Chains A and B, each alone.
Chain A
Amino acid sequence: MTTAVDTTKSARQAPYDGPLLDVRDLHVEFVTREGVARAVNGVNYSVSAGETLAVLGESGSGKSVTAQAIMGILDMPPARIPKGEIRYRGQDMLAMGKEERRKIRGQKIAMIFQDALSSLNPVLTVGFQLGEMFRAHTDASRKEAKAKAVELMDRVRIPAAKDRVGDYPHQFSGGMRQRIMIAMALALEPDLIIADEPTTALDVTVQAQVMDLLAELQAEYHMGLILITHDLGVVADVADKIAVMYAGRIVETAPVHELYASPAHPYTRGLLDSIPRLDQKGQELYAIKGLPPNLLRIPPGCAFNPRCPRAQDICRGEVPELFQVTEDDGTEQPGRGSACFFWKETLHGSRS
């Protein structure tokens, strides 16, 4: 990126030194025939420029729904947002008009989806779909858009970009398709990219390549990145901080290394323990007992209590807030929080 681009960028944006994105007490519900499914129940997180936040959780933990709420691509109805704020550069996007919101989508905040084959339009060429970004948000002509599409494809290292710009999504391999998704998200150099399980549908060998590319581009453009995943391995390499979600709430946040070294929530502990390890070959694999809760009937108290080895009476009666995690001497561990009444015990248990 050249300095010229930097100046234009700062010129069109008012100086702002808070986090890029600040999600506050976000609630999302889905109205279904059986009742109201509470998918997101008070999520708080923030991402700054150049920072990578990994959101970790099982299917149904609300991690994708949160992302879709940020992008504004939830189907409403059935979804609705009864409470909460999503601040982009200090401005609440939920209070914005449709058109204002649309201009942020793709241009300021872009998203990469899991399955690139179904996420790309099968009947339009990739060049056209990449070029659309420029044609929708800038006044680029069809020809200029195509030239920029080739540039982008080069940028994400798709071989022979010039010849392939007229190809259709099905003519690319899975890894190449995901590169196209990344190129599309990158097109207008957004401030923030949300990647929803970007490598889940890929081969293990390709996963690493795609992840490296994403991390490299993020560093180069100094973007914020929200990486949504259930793959603990992917997270460890690229994330700065982690938010673990369960039943629509964040149960633990921590800088990446602290979380791996000493989880302060029994659920995180369970997740880490269920990774198969070579040095435990022959032993039975650990699994968190039970199933994720039905979002129509989230258990009272801590949502994790029916599956938790540490659960006490208090866990069944009260919803734990996100407690600040401190060292034994009482000094705060910056950025660490755990929504468990017994975070101290869990922390010690995992250190021993």
Chain B
Amino acid sequence: MVINVVDATNLERNLYFTFQLLELGVPVVVALNMYDEARAKGFTFNLAVVERALGARVVPTVSTRGEGMDALMEAVMEEAARPERRAPHPQFYGADIESAAARIEQFIAVARPELAERYPLRWLALKILEGDGLVMAETRITGDEPPLRDALSHLMSAHQGDLASLMADARYALSAGLVREALARPAVSRMELTQRIDNIVLSRALGIPIFFAAMWLMFKLTFDVSAPFIDWIDQVAAGPLTRWTQWGMGAAGAPDWLVSLMADGVIGGVGFVLVFVPVIAAMMFFITLLEGSGYMARAAFVMDRAMHSMGLHGKSFIPMLIGFGCNVPAIYATRTLENTRDRVLTALLTPLMSCSARLPVYVLFIGVFFQESAGTVLWFIYLLGILLAVVMGALLKNTLFRGEQPLFIMELPPYRLPTLRNLTIHTWEKVKHFVVKAGTVIFAASIVVWFLLNLPWGVGSVKESYLGRAGQFIAPVTAPLGFGSWEAGSALITGLIAKEVIVGTLGEIYALSGEGAAKPAGPPDFAGDIKQIGVSFAAAARDAADNVFSTFGVAAISAQEEEGMEGLKPLIRAGFTPLSALAFMAFVLIYMPCLVTAAAFKSEFGSFKWFAVAAGYELTLAWLVAFAVYQGGTLLGYGG
């Protein structure tokens, strides 16, 4: 049973697809959707005529408001319960096509009975008639078999060998005929609202400014709305939750290592997954808003020329833009691209967009070495990422993604007001998907990292832990880039989890003696903590609302400086030179998408394959670029 959802405002083209479905011979129930909009345009339908012509039930629906759903389900149940076989093919494509199709059916039944068992016979015959490449390859039928040549020769000569056009014409003829019979439209089609909006939104003068304004607004809203909630989750997980666990387990007499595993590994891991929820929810909400309103297709229309030159699609712009905030929702945002090639290529280039988690690293190093020219250096880093994306796009387009370019042909739907229901469903689905699919991967990995940091048993310093040893191991590899210390190596390794961890690890390593995990002496103040959680959530919600209305709500660079960074600066100055710091920043920009991005790749593309490709090319590229920066700089006399 197929439920065929048909756009009532664009019946002719939609019925074309319905006729293709009917060729399969499966029972079909048609949901005549957007019925309200069609009626508002002055359309009147004679449903009985449509039902008779299609031999299928037709139910008007308005899916955004849930109207007609009960009637639709009822029709489906009735159809499913009907014992007698329906009329085999209600569509009649004309005597010539039908007789040729019958002869092809005969040929298949005799010569290839196994195909007749596997596929609907009429459908197969029609596909062979129109020379469908996929079907021909799959069935290994060439069309040159003598009985087939005989069956088709008459049609072939009458239509100059173009039977695909013939079939398309035949289907559209049926569909157009049915529309004429069953649909009454007002004679005068006035200048519609969509046209009027497009005259502004797609105009030569305003098209691009409006596009950038829309993108700027979406970016700001996504990250401004989510930021306070991210902080809130972070605080709750690191504060009360950790305290309670430590106290509870301590009281139960659990050994120190187990307390640490629970508090740092498990709770830390859960908190780590949850901090991404607000930003993914916000991103999905605004993407759905763009899609649902009809602007997404326009955005692609405006930007396609520029993106196409990089081998991408007009819609690729949006995931890449979101990438500047966070690569994780950006990978999810590639969903808006319909073609797999476009999606994968966009996802591969997105990690070169410098996400906000990399900013603390730049801020720290720029603060130490490039105080006077901070803005210039920061711009250089971001620009480097964009430039590399352009180069890699051109490179990948001509290597891994050579071959036929995906098509751009798409419908520009009328502008519509998206419904809250639609927005919440999509947002909720995406968040659930992230927590379940990506969350498990991230959670497992953060436990593994805990072990790396704390094994072998009783390890006293980071240097002797497995992490420190790994850092020592990779140090020679990064030595030609100007930062061959185990400290830098270890920080880069933890940076794979999330880029912002790099600064934290450097702090932990360089200033290890400073902090000792002070255990709370008495039982925590549960009531106080819970109250505090509620209060801070309310504050977060207020901040989010404030951010929406404030024009420049994004944290300024100075606010990105984390606590304890001041103490780190002299140590960084001792461990790096300005040149090696620059190489290190370039390396951090490029070297690898973080673990959460890997999980997003896995859940969006089904395997780690494309992540492996991204990681592979990025590691290589990062090494080469950092090498060029450091060695080139040294040659030019900037070393030392």
B partners with A: no
Q: Which residues of B contact A (CB under 8 A)?
A: none
Q: Which residues of A contact B (CB under 8 A)?
A: none
